[in-house]
Chains A and B, each alone.
Chain A
């Protein structure tokens, strides 16, 4: 499962792969190198709703409070506020509100928000999973990616514009 996270102004990308006896995680900090971590499930414990695990030879007891996309994480007298979301969560949310690249050749906004960045221009050939734009909603930046290969026909919004749910953002040819 792929996540993007933000904490203390640092951007993280995380891949979580649950294996039979371990968690395999790859983490990228601020577009740096990917680092791989393996956390043994044998050592992974739930203690009073906190999690205990071994990390690089050290024993950690970590309390992860919150749910959905906002967490407060505490350990060893330190804490971080972390915003985290995955593509699936975003996709499900969008599908629920009935708006993402549909049968007709246009992409509409699934949520009210503000367009932060647009990565495409008319004529661009998009591959599945290519980023299209970043929309900010609920103080969260969400990257919307192409659901399938397509060619951009027209970009209907500009960076900085506020959109409501259902606004047509891009049409495809």
Chain B
């Protein structure tokens, strides 16, 4: 079957992304929106748009029942959930099927299989996908800990069962430190979390976040579209992504990608999915972390290097078609980087909602912007601060970085604070340039920079001069109007005297 109309149960840039592919396929689009989103670009771009509730997500974009009602009322045949909100909600997918609608995404069983982190790792172990080596059960004493640590291989991490936030976690580099660290974790676990169970696992020294894009259809085909590197993150929020990763050698790439395919095949995966790995840049080992059963924010970098429209493929797979390509037809061409442009303070990372004044989006060769910003648009405080994804492509990584710098220089967004300047700093950093950056990179290298260092790209004088000229002009206008008021009083006085 071919869809005539689909509903997009999301907002912002991803809703727009789906509208674009659907429209290019000749499919009508239905948007839904909250009271805070009447002016959002996805509402303005869709063929139809319906209000579904108040600003809070729980009362609008998470209202599965209301969204299904709108789909039925508008005559949409399928729903694309985007990412976040209802995208990994198995019950929503089931309810859709019951209502006679199609969920553009994986099966409810797929979502459930990967929804529980611990259970999914067990599942992967059985499918012989590598996971981080560690103890299955709690380790009760120092002697056993030493045996387990030897098996796992140093350095190891000792973790209290409920440990977190720096409490109940110790990194041990060799057998000598083991006993004291083990006891410290046990007592911290007991003191802070009332739980003295302790586990041991491999400590990844130079961790990188590497993920593989996979795709399945309803006829048992599963392929991969190579990896993305998303080590540029802060507090587990990705900031900058690229494909392919220059840290993955080609023989490892083959193993990594087939492990991802194996993971997807083991649960008969349907649609777009991402298998996330933690990658040790010192040993080039990779270990399964989790699988995201949805389209990822950073999917465009994969589209750029493979030439495949992933949203188009999602819609076509949901409609029951075979994948439009085989594994042999997928190859990597060049390099792509994505910068997430967020309305936030580049130093504190605090969201900066507000009204956009100027919005000049980069254009030109090999440059793509997936965004929802426009001049005069007021960014609501209720949702994610990401307002655009800037994506560039180059024949080589170096060319791609050069284009990204150029595109960032063209990007003008005023009235709100943005992290554009943070991206400029990342692209200039030697650890990013040589590709050695890990998941700790932004935290360690860029988070503690003073605002002055971060803003080194523009001379202070420019700002002061501009403000001074504006203040001067304002003052002059005031003086002139005061003068003319005085003049008016004099005229009035003269007139009244004449009357007398």
Contact = CB atoms under 8 A, between A and B. Distances in A.
B448 to A, nearest CB: 16
A89 B476 CA distance: 11
Contact of B415 (A10, A51, A63): A63
A63 B475 contact: no
Given A74-B413, A76-B458, 15 more contacts: A1-B475, A5-B467, A7-B463, A27-B465, A37-B465, A50-B358, A62-B466, A63-B412, A63-B415, A64-B470, A71-B467, A71-B471, A75-B463, A78-B455, A79-B414
A72 to B, nearest CB: 8
B475 A89 contact: yes
A72 B415 CA distance: 8
Main secondary structure of the interface of B (DSSP, over half): helix
B470 A71 contact: yes
Contacts of B193: none
A62 B464 contact: no
Interface stretch (B68-76, B113-121, B416-424): B416-424
A5 to B, nearest CB: 6
B473 to A, nearest CB: 9
A18 interface: yes
B460 interface: yes
The size bracket of the interface on A is 35 or more
B94 interface: no
Interface in A57-81: 60-65, 67-69, 71-80
A141 to B, nearest CB: 16
29 contacts: A5-B464, A7-B460, A12-B460, A16-B472, A18-B472, A18-B476, A25-B469, A37-B461, A37-B465, A50-B358, A55-B461, A61-B412, A63-B357, A63-B358, A63-B415, A68-B474, A69-B471, A71-B467, A72-B415, A74-B358, A75-B466, A76-B409, A76-B457, A77-B409, A77-B420, A80-B455, A80-B460, A80-B463, A82-B463
Q: Identify which of B421, B458, B464, B469 gathers the most chain A CB atoms within 10 Å of its CB.
A: B464
Main secondary structure of the interface of A (DSSP, over half): strand
Interface in B440-470: 451-452, 455, 457-458, 460-470
Interface of A: 1, 3, 5, 7-8, 10, 12, 14, 16, 18, 23, 25, 27, 29, 35, 37, 39, 48-51, 55, 60-65, 67-69, 71-80, 82, 84, 86, 88-89
Contacts of B468: 3, 5, 14, 16, 25, 84
A78 B464 contact: no
Contact of A78 (B357, B458, B469, B474): B458
Interface of B: 357-358, 375, 408-409, 411-415, 417-418, 420-421, 424, 451-452, 455, 457-458, 460-472, 474-476
Contacts of B415: 63, 65, 72, 74
Contacts, number: 120
Contacts of A35: 461
Nearest to A79: B417
B457 A73 contact: no
Pairs of residues from A and B, 8 with the lowest C-beta to C-beta distance, nearest first:
A77-B420, A74-B414, A63-B414, A80-B463, A62-B466, A64-B470, A73-B463, A82-B467
Contacts of B466: 51, 60, 62, 64, 73, 75
A7 B464 contact: yes
Given A49-B357, A71-B470, A84-B471, A77 B465 contact: no
Nearest to A70: B467
A73 B459 CA distance: 12
A139 B457 CA distance: 28
Contact of A86 (B424, B462, B465, B471): B471
A78 B451 CA distance: 10
A39 B464 CA distance: 13
Contacts of B358: 48, 50, 63, 74
